[in-house]
Structure 1
Amino acid sequence: MIWTTAQDTLPPVPPARRLDAAPSGLAETVELTADHLEHLEPRVHTVAVFERVLDGLVRQAHRDRHALALALSTALGHRYPEEETDADRLTPVDVVVASPLWRVTGYSLKPEYVRRQRGHEECAQGGLELVIAARVREIGYALRSGAPQPFLLATPTWDTGALEAAELVERLVEYRRLGARPGPADFGQALLRVRRDDPAAPAAAEAAARLGTAEGDRLAAWLGADGEPGTGRRRVVIPDPQAHRAWSRAGAAMPQVAFASGERPALRREFPDAFQWLGRPHEGFTRCYHWHAGHAVRAAVLPEDRDVQARWLLPGVTLAATTGDQGDSWMLPHLALLGGPAGPGLHSAIAAGLGGRQPASRRPAVEALVVLAGRGELDAPLLGRELASMAALGTVKPNRLADAARSAAAAGAYATVWAVLAEVLPALLPSVRGAGEVLAVAADCVERCGATGPVPAEVAAVAARTRSSSRLVTEARRLAAALTGP
């Protein structure tokens, strides 16, 4: 159905910001690195600081590796009291810092040592961390061996982690001029970050193809069919109850929405081993033990594939609706700010988040909804249909949805929320418990945005009851009157 409404008045969406250049001097580089390691919790590491630290260390090592090692030993040597430590026991930046100090075991920096822990083979978040580990260990090995790159190829252009294709072409040109050999993990990460939907991408692909290098050819292909994200197939699954009971999450075994992903052949064919999990088909419900809060650095592995990340995150978001767990809803606003299509996966994750048991787990989903609406990327009917489906499964309860919808409307999204709830109401009427609360929010939104148009048949049927004064009937009449009144 089509309704005429006033335009929403939404809060401004935080813009992506360009990264500052890497520190130019040795003292500045060491100071930034020390501040990152000494004063920031790993959970709040920003992409901008993390990437500037890595690029600054690589650039300084290329200029004078011995001077860098001396400065790092003086400022940060106290962090590594043991003679040698395996890389998997250190934070990513610690791996890079400790490598030129010879405080990391050499074998643990080798590509074949970068592997998942047993029992985490199907964890999507662990797969993203594996890519980070492969890249920092590649950097650490180069610093330890005395053959660092002149600079990193994968340093993002934007604080989301996205990289402009033309900028990557310029870096490859400079690598060719210097006779430098790209690190396989660093170049692989650069490809995953390239903005494929940039209007300038076709010209960048042509320029990359003219380089006459293997990396230029791969970049050109990645900006074409090779870089397309795998398709996602929506389905309803019933997770293994035994697996969840073992972790005191019996409620998570109820039917819920998940996505099965298709294969991405280029990732399986041309990328380092640590990346290949990202290109494998996924069955949709993965066992993930990353209950701790993550950080934007992990999401920046695939900054142009937010819908893919949302599909992987969906089971964790659903936990907040089906159990007392806080779930992974906290990540939704960040995913909404990333690039790539805002497809069914992201809308499904937001829908599940809106049904969280606790207000704290619903707030991030509300924020993500408002962000997408502010960017003009929210498909309100799609979100509404997903909410209707989850309500039928029992994942989303009407009273929780009403509270979340009320919060989104209060942010100025009255027309958007009405467009969403118009798709949900037929699934709740005539008699689902809590439908009256959803009707009340819908009526308020219509009154405030001035929407006019046909009354949904299910709403009209409830409003037409003559022998009831229940809240359900009262709010249905109010909504019908708002849609058809002056």
Structure 2
Amino acid sequence: MIFTPTQDTLPPVPPAQRLDAAPSGLAETVELTAAHLDSRIHTVADFERVLDGLVRQAHRNRHALALALSTALGHRYPEEETEADRLTAVDVVVAAPLWRVTAYSLKPGSVRRQRGHEECAQGGLEMVMAARVREIGYALRSGDPQPFLLATPTWDTGALDAAELVERLVEYRRLGARPGPADFGQALLRVRRDDPAAPEAAEAAARIGTAEGDRLAAWIGPDGEPGTPRRRVVMPDPGAHRAWARAGAAVPQVAFVSGERPALRWEFPDAFQWLGRPHEGFTRCYHWDGGHAVRASVLPEDRDTQAAWLLPGVTLAATVGDYGGTWMLPHLARLGGPAGTGLHSAIAAGLGGRYPDDRRPAVEALLVLAGRGELDAPLLGRELASMVALGTVKPNRLADAARSAAAAGAYATMWAVLAEVLPTLLPSVRGAGEVLAVAADCVERCGATGPAPAEVAAAAARTGSSRLVTEARRLASALTHPHGS
């Protein structure tokens, strides 16, 4: 058995940050709202603080809020009413108390997919966002806003501590406030079910004596279990997306069908139910490459499913060189929930990106998981081996990505990964010598010892001085004679 007596020295992973409370004053709330609307980069923290701040101000004095918004932001909206689907999420909430958005487009059930994009996973996440902001907007327009939002995250990833949601539900009961179905549904999707304090929070939720408290208790239990994506190898359908019709795209590739979540299908508002049904991802996607952090915060505790949905776009970055398909990988790696096969497979495909700029995010995601102790190196290696065999990942690109990860301090980790890949590359896959060279360097740097894999030993025993043979000998020697002993 190969083992590594030394540990990697990995770059630190920035921890999740707690969200600041929503602004307490009206002027500060309007100022933050204007800054968010003018910003080109929308963070989860600002987005959620704006929504919660607007709701709190409307609950205190809706007329004062409407006057302040009209003065500061009224120029953004035409005098006549417009439909909600023509506005951004925050614009919907701002325009509602100004009577600049039609009431019928804010009512429950108004959220609809665009025709032809029924299989877009990113669109499914946006449906949840749209349902929630329209629910908020309808309450602000009708003059009956909630005292505050239930789904405001605890953390900047979008995750919500179960104990904090319990406190909010208790306060809602004290005030006699009725939770918005979409806001409460979003809150459940954000609950950190693996929080050590979650079981105690579930017991407290069951004691609240409301339907929402009972649902939270059940969600922390079996009802909230994320579905397990089902892995398979498929031949892309060129009719599903124009990208698959390009040269090099229509080759067999790894794909996932997301797992079913019955509670999402039967106990949540209509806009949420698509997320509970099995589907394969966004091959019919009209969104920009890679996704969006605010959209990802809809499911902050189910990164494995989100990565599985992202995989078709990551694969295109490897097979046809689409730019930008991998940039969300580091963000997904920082989210919660199981780091399973879906996430490891997406990182594997990203390591084979045609361009260095597309391989870099996959390397970062790998280092994030390794730094958090969540990387399953053998699993990543097996996914890479499968993709090398399919032709998704080219050995020379893998070598470059592996070299970058190792240089960041992940020598032992990358040896554990590459040890799973080498049997697929040997005896003579083109580019195997480059991968062997990185593997040998990793072993020399981390001090791993043990018998060389049979395929490596066979390559090392061959005659000649090709790079493959030379690097196989170097790797075999490093494993059996560490530090030149």
TM-score range, shorter chain: over 0.9
| Structure 2 counterpart of 1:439 | 436
How far is the alpha carbon of 1:83 from its aligned partner? 1.1
Picking from 427, 450, 474, the partner of 1:478 is 474
One-letter amino acid of the structure 1 residue matched with residue 53 of structure 2: G
Picking from 236, 239, 253, the partner of 1:242 is 239
Give me the whole-angstrom Cα distance separating, in 1, the residues matched to 2:412 and 2:9: 9
2:111, 2:271 within 8 Å by CA — same for their partners in 1? Answer: yes
TM-score (norm 2): 0.98
What secondary structure, in the 3-state scheme, does the structure 1 residue paired with 2:327 have?
A: helix
Alignment of 1:93-104 (within 5 A): 93-104=90-101
Give me the whole-angstrom Cα distance separating, in 1, the residues matched to 2:291 and 2:305: 17
One-letter amino acid of the structure 1 residue matched with residue 18 of structure 2: R
| Structure 1 counterpart of 2:71 | 74
Cα separation, partners in 2 of 1:451 and 1:292, compared to 1, 3 Å = closer
How far is the alpha carbon of 1:316 from its aligned partner? 1.1
What secondary structure, in the 3-state scheme, does the structure 2 residue paired with 1:259 have?
A: strand
CA offsets per residue over residues 218-243 of structure 1, 9 Å max, x none? 00000000000112211000111234
Residue 365 of structure 2 corresponds to residue 368 of structure 1? yes
Give me the whole-angstrom Cα distance separating, in 2, the residues matched to 1:28 and 1:138: 23
| Structure 2 counterpart of 1:265 | 262
CA offsets per residue over residues 10-57 of structure 1, 9 Å max, x none? 11001100000010000000010011112x11xx21000000000000
Q: Percent identity?
A: 88
| Structure 1 counterpart of 2:393 | 396
Residue 325 of structure 2 corresponds to residue 328 of structure 1? yes
1:380, 1:416 within 8 Å by CA — same for their partners in 2? Answer: yes
One-letter amino acid of the structure 1 residue matched with residue 19 of structure 2: L
1:318, 1:327 within 8 Å by CA — same for their partners in 2? Answer: no
2:234, 2:252 within 8 Å by CA — same for their partners in 1? Answer: yes
Q: How many residues align?
A: 482
| Structure 2 counterpart of 1:357 | 354
TM-score (norm 1): 0.97
1:244, 1:252 within 8 Å by CA — same for their partners in 2? Answer: no
Picking from 88, 92, 99, the partner of 1:91 is 88
Cα separation, partners in 2 of 1:271 and 1:244, compared to 1, 3 Å = closer
Cα separation, partners in 2 of 1:379 and 1:247, compared to 1, 3 Å = closer
| Structure 1 counterpart of 2:414 | 417
Picking from 375, 378, 385, the partner of 2:375 is 378
What secondary structure, in the 3-state scheme, does the structure 1 residue paired with 2:75 have?
A: helix
Picking from 202, 205, 208, the partner of 1:208 is 205
1:239, 1:285 within 8 Å by CA — same for their partners in 2? Answer: no
2:122, 2:285 within 8 Å by CA — same for their partners in 1? Answer: yes
| Structure 1 counterpart of 2:52 | 55
Cα separation, partners in 2 of 1:321 and 1:247, compared to 1, 3 Å = closer
One-letter amino acid of the structure 1 residue matched with residue 421 of structure 2: V
How far is the alpha carbon of 1:474 from its aligned partner? 0.4
Give me the whole-angstrom Cα distance separating, in 1, the residues matched to 2:317 and 2:207: 50
What secondary structure, in the 3-state scheme, does the structure 2 residue paired with 1:381 have?
A: helix
Of residues 336-345 and 260-269 in structure 1, the stretch that sits farther from structure 2 once superposed is: 260-269
Give me the whole-angstrom Cα distance separating, in 2, the residues matched to 1:345 and 1:228: 16
1:259, 1:285 within 8 Å by CA — same for their partners in 2? Answer: no
CA offsets per residue over residues 394-445 of structure 1, 9 Å max, x none? 0000000000000000111010001000000000000000000000000011
Residue 308 of structure 2 corresponds to residue 308 of structure 1? no
Give me the whole-angstrom Cα distance separating, in 2, the residues matched to 1:325 and 1:69: 45
Of residues 60-69 and 103-112 in structure 1, the stretch that sits farther from structure 2 once superposed is: 103-112
Of residues 318-327 and 287-296 in structure 1, the stretch that sits farther from structure 2 once superposed is: 287-296
Picking from 176, 180, 184, the partner of 2:173 is 176
Of residues 421-430 and 243-252 in structure 1, the stretch that sits farther from structure 2 once superposed is: 243-252
| Structure 1 counterpart of 2:189 | 192
CA offsets per residue over residues 442-478 of structure 1, 9 Å max, x none? 0011111111111000000000012x11000000000
Of residues 105-114 and 374-383 in structure 1, the stretch that sits farther from structure 2 once superposed is: 105-114
Alignment of 1:461-472 (within 5 A): 461-466=458-463, 468-472=464-468
How far is the alpha carbon of 1:248 from its aligned partner? 5.6
One-letter amino acid of the structure 1 residue matched with residue 32 of structure 2: L
Residue 20 of structure 2 corresponds to residue 3 of structure 1? no
Give me the whole-angstrom Cα distance separating, in 1, the residues matched to 2:246 and 2:86: 29
Give me the whole-angstrom Cα distance separating, in 1, the residues matched to 2:239 and 2:117: 17
1:4, 1:453 within 8 Å by CA — same for their partners in 2? Answer: no
How far is the alpha carbon of 1:363 from its aligned partner? 0.4
| Structure 2 counterpart of 1:122 | 119
How far is the alpha carbon of 1:3 from its aligned partner? 1.6
User: How large is the Cα RMSD of the aligned pairs?
Assistant: 1.2
How far is the alpha carbon of 1:2 from its aligned partner? 2.8
How far is the alpha carbon of 1:105 from its aligned partner? 0.9
